[in-house]
Amino acid sequence: MKYLSIALAALTFPLAAQAQTVKVDFEDASSYKALSVYDTWEESPFRTGKLQGNAAVVDNFLPQTNADGVVLNDSKKILGVQRSRFGSNTFGVRVDLNEPFSTTPSTVYVHVKMYKPTKGKAMLVGLGKRPDRAGQSNDVEQFWVYSSKSLPADEWCDAVFPIKTCNGVEIHSFVIIPDVTSPNELTEDFAAYFDDIEVNNSDMPRIKQNAYYDLNFDTESTSGKSWQYVTTVKLTSTTNGSQTLTVGSVNPQLLYRDLTSKFFRAKAGDDITPVINYNGGWMNGYVYLDQGNDGQFNVKLNDNYTNAAGSDLMSYYYIETEENTKGYKYDGTELSGNDRNTMETPAFKLPADLPVGFYRMRFKVDWGNADPAGRMTTTNSIKSNGGVVIDTRLNVHADKVNVSSASRNGYITDVNGTELVSYKADFYKQLAIIAQPAPGFALDSVTIYHGYNLTGEQYNKYGTKQWDKVVIRASSFNKKTGKYTLPASIIDGDVMIDAQFASTTAVKEATKEENPLTFTTAAGKLTLHASQPTEVTVIDAEGRTLFKQTINGNRTLALPTGVYVVNGQKVTL
């Protein structure tokens, strides 16, 4: 798995007030005072004493790595809790700390490694007291806070909880709630596991939660400045000219916009000029391309903040090194003041050896930050600044594409009669085809697959679409010549044409006068009625014999929706 690789030594961001050191690792009992369960619902059977909860430290029997072999949690011991269906949605495991820690109005972050069988957000409740309030219990609920992101199921992740209170509050216990959905639908309890509790000043998860094209926020997160948004993103390439995708305002104003159903076009070696049209100010633009098609935007910067060889960060203007003060331009020169206020995204060149195919492309509006997942520092987050992340695709193509056809009882040719076998066509140019049915058949429809890796899955394992499909009915073809012109938008990569031809031999509409055989139809059923022993033959639209027997009386056949020929009579189910 690739990680963001940026020279951090020169960064001098001022930190918030340093969090007190709090670490609980469960390797032995010395890192905590006590363990139990807790429910914020006062009438909970776990509060009244009717039920006893189950929480214990156990050996770490769970997978320690993810699918890419990255170690997520190799601890020997972990904390487990039985999530009871008889508790409320705020039922969880309680960890009493050895020493209380004080909170303030400044935000700090509680990190908890978590493994649970359900997706969704977790919750953290802080139990404590105000020392200046005589007699106050240590169990007063001082905060309830959701995890900053939704959490995956059946994989170790790092749940991050931003917490703050008024001055002078001491937190004595954490209550970790693995699932905040209502337990009303639960039919049985489940187990959840936790490890390595830590309080610090970082809002970044210790484990990269999403394996592919990560974001530092949930996809449903909304902007802190709804009046600021991207109107369009543009790309001009040497071979394909200027192209525009409309983004526009939405309600609510989302931080993430998925435009991966669309794409830009370019050839390897092209000079590319991207443009982000942003309705707002004091932000910067960044453009990324997953050149390795490995599900990551791998960012590499040199020590002087120029782009490094092989970096997936293709275009940017400003990287901040001293918060709200100064940073560096893409060419390594220092910037400060109004010179930082630009959405310019300089031109770049695609590698000449980049293979053809679809690549994930990301446009980001953020402030002075190269992280493709979005800046999330306390004073300058992509959310509070009104930024946005837009994902789309780049179609890196050749001059010619491969066109093939497959059919029975007929074939597809070009306008010169050349059958489409190992055929080459011009990329993104119209292609006229002719359907030529065999004697006794007529064209029913043509299914066209277009894109790349046409024999594979439509989406690769990173969620990037590889091909599309369109069905063209026979009525769209010229009735006399059998001609149809494929639009340029379909010739966007390799093309595979699957033509369906239906039998017309000895077919006539069924009539009630036909004897001794009659039949009735229903959804998926054909019922035959023979008043005397009669040989019956049922043929499908492709000329295959599906049934041939002598019947006397009634017989029902289960058939898919379609057109059939029964003893020379056409039947439609």
Q: Tell me the per-residue pLDDT of 3-62, one tens digit each, with 9 for 90 and over.
A: 333 333 333 333 344 556 789 999 999 999 999 999 999 999 999 999 999 999 999 999
pLDDT in tens, 99-128: 998 888 888 899 999 999 998 889 999 999
> Cα separation of 522 and 92, whole Å?
55
Tokens at 132, concatenated: 């200046």
Share of the chain above pLDDT 70, in %: 94
Mean pLDDT of 156-169: 88
- What does the pLDDT read at residue 66? 81
pLDDT for residue 482 is more than 80: yes
Measured between alpha carbons, how far is 470 from 260 in angstroms, rounded to an integer? Answer: 18
Phi/psi at 476 (nearest 5 deg)? -80, -15
Residue 277: is its pLDDT beyond 90? yes
CA-based nearest residue to 286, from 144, 168, 389? 389
Cross-strand partners of 540? 564
**Predicted confidence (pLDDT) per residue in 376-433, tens digit:** 877 789 999 999 999 999 999 999 999 999 888 899 999 999 988 889 999 999 999 9
Nearest to 365 by CA among 307, 269, 281: 281
Check residue 463 and report its DSSP letter. S
> Per residue in 560-569, pLDDT tens?
877 888 887 8
Look at the pTM and tell me if it is higher than 0.85: no
Mean pLDDT lowest among 258-262, 299-303, 372-376, 529-533: 529-533
SS3 assignment, position 489? helix
Mean pLDDT of 526-538: 85
Top mean-pLDDT range of 65-69, 186-190, 416-420, 492-496: 492-496
Whether the per-residue pLDDT at 438 is higher than 50: the answer is: yes
Judged by DSSP in three states, 48 sits in helix
User: What does DSSP assign to residue 65?
Assistant: B
Q: Residue 151, SS3?
A: strand
- From 133-142, 226-235, 477-486, 540-549, the region with the lowest mean pLDDT: 540-549
Distances (CA, A) of 537 to 108, 417, 570: 78, 36, 12
* C-beta separation of 84 from 178 below 8 A: no
pLDDT, tens digit, 9 for 90 and up, residues 292-325: 998 989 899 998 999 999 999 999 999 999 988 9
- How many other C-beta atoms lie within 10 A of the C-beta of residue 398? 13
- Measured between alpha carbons, how far is 276 from 435 in angstroms, rounded to an integer? 44
Region 127-134 average pLDDT: 87
Instruction: List the single range of 5-14, 148-157, 351-360 with lowest mean pLDDT.
Output: 5-14
Torsion of CA 540, 543, 545, 550, to 10 degrees: 80
For the chain, give the mean pLDDT. 89
Please name every residue paired with 469 in a beta bridge, in sequence order, or none if there are none.
449
DSSP states along 306-351: PBPTT-SEEEESEEEEETTTEEEETTS-EEEGGGG-------EE--
CB-based contacts of 241, cutoff 8 Å, min separation 6: none
* Res. 508 pLDDT band, cuts 50 70 90: very low
Give pLDDT, residue 509: 46
Which residues lie below 8 Å from residue 497, measured CB to CB, with a gap of 6+? Answer: 403, 404, 405, 406, 407, 412, 420, 433, 446, 447, 448
The tens digit of pLDDT for each residue in 48-89 reads 999 999 999 999 999 998 877 888 999 999 999 999 999 999
Cβ-proximal residues to 190 (8 Å cutoff; 6+ apart), any chain: 82, 83, 116, 117, 118
Type of residue numbered 511 = T
Q: What is the rounded distance in angstroms from the CA atom of residue 378 to the CA atom of residue 346?
A: 29
Q: pLDDT per residue over 140-149, tens digit each?
A: 999 999 888 7
Tokens of 442: 């007529």
Which residue has better confidence, 269 or 131? 269
> What is the C-alpha separation between 361 and 289, in angstroms, rounded?
5
The residue type found at 528 is L
Predicted pLDDT at 4:
38
Instruction: Tell me which residue of 257, 247, 248, 180 sits closest to 222, measured CA to CA.
Output: 257
Rounded to whole angstroms, the Cα distance separating 341 from 351 reads 30
Beta bridge partners of 172: none
DSSP 8-state assignment for residue 488? G
Assess contact for 490 and 470: CB atoms under 8 A: yes
- Mean pLDDT for 154-177 is 91
Contact 93, 123 (CB under 8 A): no
Task: Answer whether 184's CB lies under 8 Å from 127's CB.
Answer: no
What one-character-per-residue DSSP string does 506-570 give?
T-EE--TT--SEEEEEETTEEEEEEEEEEEEEEEETTS-EEEEEEEEEEEEEE--SSEEEETTEE
Over residues 200-251, the pLDDT tens digits come to 988 778 887 656 898 888 888 999 999 999 999 999 999 999 999 999 999 9
> What are phi and psi for residue 12, nearest 5 degrees?
-130, 40
Question: 525-540 and 517-522 as β-strands: parallel, antiparallel, unpaired?
Answer: antiparallel
Query: Structure tokens of 116?
Result: 């649970």
Which pLDDT score, from 0 to 100, does residue 210 have?
A: 58
**Residue 209 confidence (pLDDT):** 60
Contact 172, 128 (CB under 8 A): yes
Rounded distance, CA 259 to CA 460, Å?
Answer: 16
Q: Is the C-alpha dihedral spanning 407, 410, 414, 418 positive or negative?
A: positive
Which H or E run includes 45?
helix 45-48
Structure tokens at 525: 């059923």
Beta-bridge partners for 23: 198
The shares of helix, strand and coil residues in the chain, as percent rounded to the nearest 5, are 5, 50, 50
